[in-house]
Amino acid sequence: MNTKSVLRVILSIAIILTGFTGCVSSTPQPVVSGNTTQVPPVDENATQSPVTSDNSTVDPDSAAGKVIKGDGYLQSSQWDKAVKEYKDAIALEPGFAPAYSRLGFAYYLQGQQDQAIEEFTKAVDINPRDTGSFLGRGLVYNDKGDYGNAIQDFSRALQLDAKNVDAYSYRGKAYYQSGDLAKAIADFTQIINIDDKNSKAYYDRALAYSIKKDYDKAISDYSRAIEIGPQYATVYYNRGLTYHLKGDYRNAVADYTKAIEMNERYVTAYNNRGLAYQSLGEYEKAQNDFNKAKELGAR
């Protein structure tokens, strides 16, 4: 997960200021080669804008104020300063779960996974209903390849909030990465049931369908993701790849071309379009694409 996505999660689960002031102490691709398909589809991390709120009523010297100040540092990638503010908050109020949770996110963004898990665990020990800390700890476990514990934490978050789209998304990806495509598809479908305009869920489900070789469903989901937007070169590339694997070379060419229009240095799109042209018997176009891919650094 990229930094912007993590910050979105942090701020989307931020303590509402009334919570701070009212109950501070108690609660808180696949790439087609000449012979075979070898590389998984390209994923695209879509991000949203962070949630903001009015912090003017919070005492800047309180534990809550320190957390808010730390969040500001976190958004500007000043990890060490964020860590200091969160530690100061904990020193002021050792039982303030949000400070441990934010400290966990700060460590996570610094790549200090074990420390992050330790802080998230402290947060949920203090407040077992802290959905955000279960999500955060699950993200760290997932990055460590510990999909079992990641899935367990995301499931715990869903027990607390049955319509938490982030939890379904992260658990779906953990299932996907662990090879349980049926459960991944089920989670992405749950997101779509909650929000049928969620283009990322259609995209993620399409990736899973593609790996399952259920190409028609994958193409349908890629198309829906494109229709909803925003549009990415990788979505066209992966839909083109799915057409390619299905043997529909003309539509594959069309999608590879669209991907190239959006990213003129898309090496694998040139290479795969060349292979599709080759399958169509358009050898001069194929050679031009192979030459372009080589020029851009293909091996």
pLDDT value of residue 297: 87
* 3 state DSSP class of 259: helix
Task: List, in order, residues 6 or more apart from 43 with CB less than 8 Å away.
Answer: 204, 207, 234
CA distance 26 to 106: 23
Task: Give percent above pLDDT 70 in the chain.
Answer: 81
pLDDT value of residue 213: 96
Q: Are 271 and 31 in contact (CB under 8 A)?
A: yes
Task: Find out if CATH 3.90.1150.10 is the number for domain 1-28+58-144.
Answer: no
* 3 state DSSP class of 271: helix
CA distance 18 to 28: 11
Q: Please write the tens of the pLDDT for every residue from 89-115.
A: 999 999 999 999 999 999 999 999 999
Q: Please write the tens of the pLDDT for every residue from 128-141.
A: 999 999 999 999 99
* 3 state DSSP class of 274: helix
pLDDT value of residue 275: 98
* Amino acid at site 138: G
pLDDT value of residue 58: 83
pLDDT value of residue 57: 80
CA distance 5 to 8: 5
pLDDT value of residue 42: 44
Q: Please write the tens of the pLDDT for every residue from 152-176.
A: 999 999 999 999 999 999 999 999 9
pLDDT beneath 70, residues of the chain: 1-56, 298-299
pLDDT value of residue 26: 29
pLDDT value of residue 224: 98
- Ranges of each domain in the chain: 1-28+58-144
DSSP character string of 198-258: -HHHHHHHHHHHHHTT-HHHHHHHHHHHHHHS---HHHHHHHHHHHHHHT-HHHHHHHHHH
Task: List, in order, residues 6 or more apart from 18 with CB less than 8 Å away.
Answer: none
pLDDT value of residue 117: 98
* Amino acid at site 126: I
CA distance 266 to 107: 34
